[in-house]
Amino acid sequence: MIAPVAAPLPYLWFKASVFALLAANTGIFLIHGTFSQWLDSLAWLVLLILFELETGWGARTFTRDGVRSIVRAVRLLAACAIVVAAAGYYREQAW
């Protein structure tokens, strides 16, 4: 078994900055944007967080069936939210 290698500090800061900026973007859309913009931003942020958790912590966290089912359900809800947001963009003629 290969031992995991710790990521360099600048890379961790970069990832944290991207997550913080995307969270701020979601908050701005919540306050000043349309429902479709907020829902779209939130869904992509959730998918990115799930991707990070699964790739970075997956072997330790997502091995139990209950946790795996919850992650799949959240991923499906986020994907459905993106479809609903796209329909909202179309309805708002923003697309």
Asked if 34 and 92 touch (Cβ cutoff 8 Å), the reply is yes
Q: Report pLDDT digits (tens) over 67-87.
A: 888 888 999 999 999 999 999
pTM: 0.82
Residue 80, exposed/middle/buried by CB under 10 A (0-12, 13-18, 19+)?
exposed
Q: Report pLDDT digits (tens) over 1-17.
A: 455 567 788 888 999 99
Instruction: Round to whole Å and give the CA distance between 19 and 23.
Output: 6
The set of residues, in sequence order, having a beta carbon less than 8 Å from that of 78 and lying 6+ positions away, is 43, 44, 46, 47, 50
